[in-house]
Structure 1
């Protein structure tokens, strides 16, 4: 027996030693790809020395004697820190993920092949101006210079992920950067999903009930605020804002409700305490580790520019120079239309047009799959755009037999000069120059908020489709493509895009809200991303006669939910403080305790408080109760609470209170009845999923921001090292927006928010502040993988100056690239 125990001890010791050795070997191999930032290297592709100064947050300041060399340096820095991210984005837009990940990404590859984004990007290269072509070529050379080092010196294959997946890396091409910009367009496009859902609901409900569950945005457009004194005569808007299903692996198209959200606002010198213009911007995207954003500073011949880049592109997408600042928010321009294509019953390779039947353009595309035989896709295009198969986007549920569905989209063009517009914006010195640069921009449409030393402006950039005023569906649901009135014509001119310059009130802003109130077809959109947060923003902006950098930060980090303040008094109108105190431990007592907490709550979605969790669980249960008998299985498509819908029901707008009556029951339920039952549903969910008493619950324990690694985030054991988790405040309808997932065991997980924040103060430009939601490095072993994320979680920032000496003073390394003679 003693010998058995001895051998067991020896075996366990041996296993421990082997595990330690294996861990050490894995760490050694993975650490080889950590870049050396403090080095001098001879490098082909540059004409003069390039200096990459990385400050204490690992933000590169790229200095060179000419613009080509500076863009080279940006490509080199991006490849050092985000190589895996760049390669995966390129494979995604090329439709080549299955070569690495196998069949599980086949549907994603099929979507990208059918949209043909990569080939369109390649064709668009010739349409860029010379300055942009130079930037693209120099950037690609910088990426390839680092790739060459990886190939010749091993360097741990460039990133640890390449030890687990294919390490075949083809050279970076200028068209790759153009393709990634188009990929961003796909990730921000949501109108296709809206059309499909509205069509499905229209097949289930009468039109007046469709208007309830998919309401038009109430109120007038808001962009420029009035003069401060006149604000107090304004009446508050009456109404209060929108969700969806599992996707194939690495699916780049957003679920409904996740097509983008952002904040951007600016104050003129007359509304600034220090007398300089102010700009705040925080574009919202899905969280990932590393974040999609990467901070950088470029010293161009036109001057320094600093802010947020996306690895793979030679652009500062949001940032500032010494005299000009610009921010972006999703404009929600409706730039997509689905068209119902009638197939020729005698020849299914033809579709019906207003002039008769015409052939479908077809092309074969071979998709290679890891460890399997390749498959061949037949890609089909009509004059209106690509045909999408019925299994994508639930199109089969709304496509009649003998028909197909095509997609018209402004992004699907080779004449796309959006990259040139971005390069021009980086070089702009004034608001008017920024507006002029936006004329070349195609997609994804954005709302630009801009400031220079003296003025402020907001301008929507992106092509507005030319729809016929007699369009049968106004682009809200798929329309018959054989009727000429439904087809797109010449796009609207850039001058038709909404513009607000130097408003008398001295403030402009956008929270993805409705900004104009024009009739179709110049309406921009029927669907907007916000009707709630804009109300809070208005109040914060007009509560002060003048603003400071700090007041803009406070607004950016504000966690008060106007939605909660609006809905709770309506929903619980007949429930507050009714009846005698119930015995402890009973359901009546639990209900009373919850209502007491909510009655004394100010609507602040603070991570340390229980009320946001109780409120969110209640409203989620309430909407489910209201819609599931009318919609049946379709109710699962509504993942998030729509405050406008709930408010319509509880105000009985256009008899919307009919939703409260359960169709299948004999009794007639009131809205108070449903509110009470929904509260019990929420408390039951909390008892099953939350620990502790109601008053000890924490919203932040459920509203966790999970920044998931795109490829390793679901791998057992590894996910605990590569994913970043943070307790967060905010919610779906707060300025500090943290959009909940709406699905899974924890539907309140924070999955979409401001992965980049910037505050620019032109009374003291070098006091401007920036932060991203993770860190600069994409390497899980780097100390810069998540260091900025802790600042981001606390609502703090890092300064970024255009003074290179400040960067050198606390540099973590300076890379000198020397040209090879």
Structure 2
């Protein structure tokens, strides 16, 4: 009775009406056809509803039951996972290993798909599921051999860390066993799209996930390629304009790429980037904010710390909140599913936050092949044999492909278009990558485990000793002190290194080889500064000259100006003032650039010609003249500004760089615009279009770009400036890598919402720069937290989506609205508070 008792009478009415039509000359065949079409239509509707019900039934079967009791193997004692009202797991166990077991189980409950995709990425096995679309990713990851490095790293971790890795793996596998035994919908809805079995989790898998994160946070190889390409097109003065150095950084002379290799500029467009690609676009390798003040600058007479690491947005978020209650005390903060521990957060006595250090940890070496034997390459001691290994890569339902991996003394040979190295590799040469993250002696997992148990800054610094990659800035606070320490290793290059880490170099020249690592005592660190403040926004951290310079490339030159002002102008800080700074949407960049590019356009009257855009231009300039630079989602000013500088930068570089290279400069370079409009070292030369007979001024280019921007916005958002809203364009695109590409399903699988902020605001929302949504927010603070040791139990946290990765869960996106509004949730180490508002308690009992 699928359609109820009214179905058959309704069909009879249709028959009667059709029969009546016979009196008007219809044939019996037409009537029969009509009746059968009605039956087919209704039947298809019934089948669709049945299929929808079946899909819902199967998918909902994998929703985790938070209020449950499960007997599992691998535990020594009872573990409780208390889920608070926001589905944050509070994990209680009698031993450290049991707590890690509980975290593995909780991660697998909520983020199993995400974990397995990170593992497949590291293994180079995405194409088994996604076919040709991810083959190049697999090929690169197989060449880098991140999974093989992770396997070697396991044995180099401490016994305590290895025990934690084993216990965490056992917890994940306990959940996998429960899914199989209880037929719980394969553990996640996405697995119904694929027939592959889920392999048991291992300690190697957790370290491999850590290596993938290191790859996402390293962008220097791409920078070297970009600099090499531009040096083939521009003279050194103009190269400094488009790739400017951070202010006050000592400049060291070096040869340009054309002096090292006989190359011509490439006009090859960039390949389309896949959602699973861990190699970030230029300028997207990482961004974050972190700061802390000591008791002398705190209204609570104790230290405060804030941290908001920035990564590419996705649904679910990279981050998941958790609390781990160890026998020696609890730790709480942000975790990454697949990794056993709190990545950034606090315990009862110590807190730590992260920002990307931008340590120059990668070098590209151009290796010269033997013209008589391409299996050999040139070294300082003559030709040597390239190491090779044949491996199989599965590609969908096709037969597995055999590929040959190659390696030189510097590292893996890059395949295909990886990092864009093919565009700067001369014929008869290959490109190899040296990278600190490929050193199997790295003990970054030890660092993670030890930080959770550190009780003061001294112990926190000691925890960093084994860390090589990813190199991170650690902002630390205990009850009395604050500190900033660069953790991880930087390659020690010779003074005579030809590229100084800034561009690819000949691999056969001995002076280009690394000489180990920079000594730890030469890495930047600030302990208990007299100002009482430590602060980092990915800005430059040292004035030391090469080779102790850490990097020539930094992730920020703009946010630091706003952050320094907000933190220093207030004598005493509170958790509320830290939240205010963390969610600040004022663009210091806009405040600097607008008076420069608009100085000849602000007007009373009409100094520029009347045209179709005059009414829009008048209103836009009036609003920008009164604007304070706040990138508020509800106003039009942020949209006008973002579109204006986007078109301005594109117009300035297009004729000098050519279309393909100009298309790669999709994101604003504020120092470039500032250099041009201040005419630093003759940079105003960019304003003249060399292919035209007229001599254009920078005012001409500013007006042209404003007209282009207004025309674009008018066509997309209408002819009334007052109706434009920045948030309509600056949509946070938290898309599901797979389900977000399925029409209809994407509406519930992807989380899209208007946001404030921009490229250079403290509440950062990096613009995509690419069509069809160049102003979309694609890179932001997926985790924010503030700790006040004067009242630690009222510390505040938020992630950008929800705790669950299951799209049918109410906790899939429930935190996203709070995140968008700059709000937080409380997270306490008080057990009674955690249990008071619990939505469920999962009891894991040892299986007898």
TM-score if structure 2 supplies the norm length? Answer: 0.93
Q: 1:390 to 1:583 in 2, by over 3 A?
A: closer
After TM superposition, give the deviation of residue 41 of structure 1 in Å: 1.6
Alignment of 1:178 onto 2:207: yes
2:14 aligned residue: none
Please give the alpha-carbon distance, in whole angstroms, between the structure 1 residues aligned to 2:820 and 2:282: 26
After TM superposition, give the deviation of residue 721 of structure 1 in Å: 1.4
Please give the alpha-carbon distance, in whole angstroms, between the structure 2 residues aligned to 1:625 and 1:185: 35
3-state SS in 2 of match to 1:439: coil
Alignment of 1:463 onto 2:489: yes
- From 427, 430, 437, the counterpart of 1:401: 427
Please give the alpha-carbon distance, in whole angstroms, between the structure 2 residues aligned to 1:746 and 1:105: 23
Contact 2:283-2:555 at 8 Å conserved across structures:
yes
Alignment of 1:489 onto 2:515: yes
Q: How does 1:642-681 map to 2 (within 5 A)?
A: 642-681=669-708
Please give the alpha-carbon distance, in whole angstroms, between the structure 2 residues aligned to 1:174 and 1:23: 39
Alignment of 1:288 onto 2:314: yes
Please give the alpha-carbon distance, in whole angstroms, between the structure 1 residues aligned to 2:683 and 2:232: 19
Please give the alpha-carbon distance, in whole angstroms, between the structure 1 residues aligned to 2:826 and 2:397: 48
Contact 2:616-2:719 at 8 Å conserved across structures:
no
After TM superposition, give the deviation of residue 265 of structure 1 in Å: 0.3
1:598 aligned residue: 624
Contact 1:108-1:249 at 8 Å conserved across structures:
no
- Residue deviations 1:217-250, cap 9 Å, x none? 11369xxxxxxxxxxxxxxxxxxxxx98632452
Please give the alpha-carbon distance, in whole angstroms, between the structure 2 residues aligned to 1:692 and 1:254: 37
Q: How does 1:251-270 map to 2 (within 5 A)?
A: 251-270=277-296
1:106 aligned residue: 135
- From 354, 358, 365, the counterpart of 2:384: 358
- Residue deviations 1:642-698, cap 9 Å, x none? 110000000000000000001011111110011111111111111222234111100
Contact 2:310-2:781 at 8 Å conserved across structures:
yes
3-state SS in 2 of match to 1:136: helix
Alignment of 1:694 onto 2:721: yes
Please give the alpha-carbon distance, in whole angstroms, between the structure 1 residues aligned to 2:249 and 2:685: 27
Contact 1:244-1:639 at 8 Å conserved across structures:
no
3-state SS in 1 of match to 2:842: strand
Contact 1:342-1:482 at 8 Å conserved across structures:
yes
Please give the alpha-carbon distance, in whole angstroms, between the structure 1 residues aligned to 2:270 and 2:348: 43
Please give the alpha-carbon distance, in whole angstroms, between the structure 2 residues aligned to 1:644 and 1:584: 32
Q: 1:318 to 1:326 in 2, by over 3 A?
A: same
After TM superposition, give the deviation of residue 213 of structure 1 in Å: 0.6
Contact 2:100-2:341 at 8 Å conserved across structures:
no
After TM superposition, give the deviation of residue 587 of structure 1 in Å: 1.9
3-state SS in 1 of match to 2:555: coil
After TM superposition, give the deviation of residue 11 of structure 1 in Å: 4.1
2:71 aligned residue: 42
Please give the alpha-carbon distance, in whole angstroms, between the structure 1 residues aligned to 2:89 and 2:148: 32
**452-461 or 293-302, which deviates more:** 293-302
RMSD, matched Cα: 1.6
1:789 aligned residue: 816
3-state SS in 2 of match to 1:713: helix
2:443 aligned residue: 417
2:359 aligned residue: 333
After TM superposition, give the deviation of residue 392 of structure 1 in Å: 2.2
Alignment of 1:685 onto 2:715: no
- Residue deviations 1:446-503, cap 9 Å, x none? 0000000000001001111010011111110101111111111121122121100000
Please give the alpha-carbon distance, in whole angstroms, between the structure 2 residues aligned to 1:293 and 1:244: 29
3-state SS in 2 of match to 1:257: coil
Please give the alpha-carbon distance, in whole angstroms, between the structure 2 residues aligned to 1:193 and 1:245: 14
Unaligned runs of 5+ residues in structure 2 are 1-16, 20-30, 251-268
- Residue deviations 1:572-631, cap 9 Å, x none? 111110543999983222222211111111100000000110111010000011000000
Q: 1:733 to 1:245 in 2, by over 3 A?
A: farther
2:644 aligned residue: 618
Contact 1:244-1:638 at 8 Å conserved across structures:
no
Bigger radius of gyration among the two: 2
2:529 aligned residue: 503
Please give the alpha-carbon distance, in whole angstroms, between the structure 2 residues aligned to 1:173 and 1:612: 48
2:752 aligned residue: 725
Please give the alpha-carbon distance, in whole angstroms, between the structure 2 residues aligned to 1:315 and 1:244: 37
2:798 aligned residue: 771
Please give the alpha-carbon distance, in whole angstroms, between the structure 2 residues aligned to 1:304 and 1:702: 42
Contact 1:290-1:785 at 8 Å conserved across structures:
yes
After TM superposition, give the deviation of residue 94 of structure 1 in Å: 0.2
Alignment of 1:446 onto 2:475: no
2:780 aligned residue: 753
**523-532 or 344-353, which deviates more:** 344-353
Contact 1:582-1:589 at 8 Å conserved across structures:
no
Please give the alpha-carbon distance, in whole angstroms, between the structure 1 residues aligned to 2:229 and 2:515: 27
3-state SS in 1 of match to 2:438: coil
Alignment of 1:80 onto 2:109: yes
Please give the alpha-carbon distance, in whole angstroms, between the structure 2 residues aligned to 1:578 and 1:690: 26
Contact 1:46-1:72 at 8 Å conserved across structures:
yes
1:236 aligned residue: none
- Residue deviations 1:338-363, cap 9 Å, x none? 01111111211111111111111111
3-state SS in 2 of match to 1:401: coil
After TM superposition, give the deviation of residue 23 of structure 1 in Å: 1.3
After TM superposition, give the deviation of residue 102 of structure 1 in Å: 1.2
Alignment of 1:742 onto 2:742: no
Unaligned runs of 5+ residues in structure 1 are 222-242
After TM superposition, give the deviation of residue 80 of structure 1 in Å: 0.5
After TM superposition, give the deviation of residue 527 of structure 1 in Å: 0.7
2:734 aligned residue: 707
**139-148 or 21-30, which deviates more:** 21-30
1:96 aligned residue: 125
- From 591, 594, 609, the counterpart of 1:565: 591
After TM superposition, give the deviation of residue 820 of structure 1 in Å: 2.0
